[in-house]
Amino acid sequence: MPKINRKISVAPMMDCTDRHERFFLRLISKNVLLYTEMIVSEAISRGDKNKLLSFNLNEKPVALQIGGSSPKLLADASRDGEEFGYDEINLNLGCPSKKVEKNKFGACLMKEPNLVADCLSKMQSVCKLPITIKTRIGYDDIEDYENLYKFIETLKNTGIKTFIIHARKAILGKFTPKQNLNIPPLKYEMVYKLKQDFVKEEIIINGGINNTQQIKEHLKKVDGVMIGRSIYHSPYLLADIEKEIFNNKNILSREEVIEKLIPYVKEETKKGTRLNQIMRHTLGLFHGQVGSSFWKRYLSQNMCVRDAEIKKIDHLMDKIKPPSQVHLAGQID
C-alpha cells in the first residue's frame, strides 16, 4: 500500500468538505490530502452507505473521518470505508459541540483514553488502511502537557502512528463549535513538544494557519500541516501551496478551474444534485481579486439558491474574462 503524503491536508469540516467541495479542491491541488466531513459510525451502520460513502475517484487521495464510541460500529465503518476505496480512516476526537458530546464522540472522548484505545484496536483489526486520529491539546480545565502526552501514548500503544492535533483545547458544553475555533488560545508549542517526544510518530498540526509562510514555519517543527477554514473561504490558497510547498508549477487558473468544473456540474445535476449544492463551494474562488464581490453576488443570486436553474451554468464562462486577464468581465469592485 503506497504511503500517504500528509505534508499538507485540508481539514474535515461539517457542511463544507462534502464530495462536491473535494472534487472542486482537487482541480486546484493535486497533492494535498482531502478529508470527508465527519460521518457518524451509527449513521453508516443504519443508513444508505452509497449515499454516505460514495465519492468520485478524481478526489483521491481522500480520507474518511468517522465519529463514534462503539468499538464494533467504528470497526464496521472502517471496513466499509476500505471497501468504498478511501485511503485512510480518521477517528474524530476533537469535535466540541454539545450534540457530539451528548452522543459520546468527538473531544469528550479525551476523558476516556482506554475506551478510545479499544475502539482503535478494533478498527485496526478489521481494516488494512492507515487509522489516524484528530484531537485537541486538552479539554475544559485539562490543558497540561502531561495529560496530552499520556493520551497520545495510550493511543500510540494500539499501533496508531499518525496524530493530527488542533492546537487549542475544547471547551465542552459552554462554547459553540464556532467559539471553540476562536476563543481558546492556540498553543503550538505543545504540538511541537509532542513531535520531540514522539520522534517516530507522524505529528500533524492544525489550527489558525492561513498562509504558506506559516506553513513553512510549522514544517520546521512537525511532519505536516492541516488547514481548515482558510481553504474554504479562499480555496485558491491551494495554488500557492502547490507552487511553494510541492514545487508544482502546473496549476490551473481560477478561470480554468471553473471551466473544468462545469462538466462535473452538468453530470451531477442529471443525477439529481441541485446546482446550489455544488456552486456554493466556489464562492471564495476569486477571494482577494478585483471582481470578487461581483463573483460572490452573481453566484448568490443565480446559482446558490435552492431552485437555481442548471441552464445558467452554460453562461458562467461569459462572466469571466480569459485567463490572461485578472478580473471578472466588466466588473470593478
DSSP letters, 172-217, are: TTTS-HHHHTTSSPP-HHHHHHHHHH-TTSEEEEESS--SHHHHHH
Residue 308 to residue 298: CA distance in whole angstroms: 12
Q: Comparing C-alpha atoms, which of 71, 63, 62, 66 is closest to residue 41?
A: 66
Instruction: Give tens-digit pLDDT for 268-280.
Output: 999 999 999 999 9
206: number of CA atoms within 13 Å, CB side?
Answer: 26
Q: What is this structure's pTM?
A: 0.93
Cis preceding linkage at 61, omega within 30: yes
Per-residue pLDDT at 332 exceeds 60 = no
All CATH 1.20.120.1460 domain ranges in the chain, comma separated: 254-319
Using pLDDT thresholds of 50, 70 and 90, give the confidence band for residue 319: confident
Q: How buried is residue 107: exposed, middle or buried, by Cβ count under 10 Å (0-12/13-18/19+)?
A: buried
> Cα–Cα distances in Å, from 139 out to 229, 300, 315?
21, 38, 50
User: CB neighbours (10 Å) of residue 312?
Assistant: 14
User: What pLDDT is stored for residue 306 in this prediction?
Assistant: 84
Per-residue pLDDT at 96 exceeds 90 = no
Q: Comparing C-alpha atoms, which of 231, 234, 103 is closest to residue 172?
A: 103
Measure the CA dihedral 264/265/267/271, to 10°. Answer: 130
User: What's the CATH number for 8-244?
Assistant: 3.20.20.70
DSSP letters, 276-322, are HHHHGGGTTTTTTSTTHHHHHHHHHHHTSSTT--GGGGGGGGGGB--
Under a CB-based contact definition with an 8 Å cutoff, are residues 286 and 239 in contact?
no
Integer-rounded Cα radius of gyration of the chain:
20
User: What pLDDT is stored for residue 325 in this prediction?
Assistant: 47
Residues taking part in catalysis: 95
Residue 165 to residue 179: CA distance in whole angstroms: 18
CATH 1.20.120.1460 assigned to domain 254-319? The reply is yes
Using pLDDT thresholds of 50, 70 and 90, give the confidence band for residue 221: very high
User: What pLDDT is stored for residue 184 in this prediction?
Assistant: 84
- Percent of the chain predicted with pLDDT > 90: 80
Instruction: Give tens-digit pLDDT for 37-81.
Output: 999 999 999 999 999 999 999 999 999 999 999 999 999 999 999
Phi/psi for 94 (5° steps) reads: -130, -15
All CATH 3.20.20.70 domain ranges in the chain, comma separated: 8-244
User: What pLDDT is stored for residue 197 in this prediction?
Assistant: 98
Using pLDDT thresholds of 50, 70 and 90, give the confidence band for residue 175: low
Under a CB-based contact definition with an 8 Å cutoff, are residues 193 and 163 in contact?
no
Q: Rounded to 5, what percent of the chain is helix, strand, coil?
A: 45, 15, 40
Q: Indicate the pairing of strand 224-227 with strand 202-206.
A: parallel
Residue 208 to residue 168: CA distance in whole angstroms: 9
The listed range with the strongest mean pLDDT (21-35, 100-114, 290-304) is 21-35
Per-residue pLDDT at 333 exceeds 70 = no
User: What pLDDT is stored for residue 321 in this prediction?
Assistant: 59
Using pLDDT thresholds of 50, 70 and 90, give the confidence band for residue 179: confident
The DSSP output letter for 328 is: B
**Cβ within 8 Å of residue 142, ≥6 positions away:** 110, 169
Per-residue pLDDT at 193 exceeds 70 = yes
The DSSP output letter for 129 is: S
- The rounded Cα 216 to chain-centroid distance in angstroms is 19
Instruction: Give tens-digit pLDDT for 102-154.
Output: 678 899 999 999 999 999 999 999 999 999 999 999 999 899 999 999 999 99
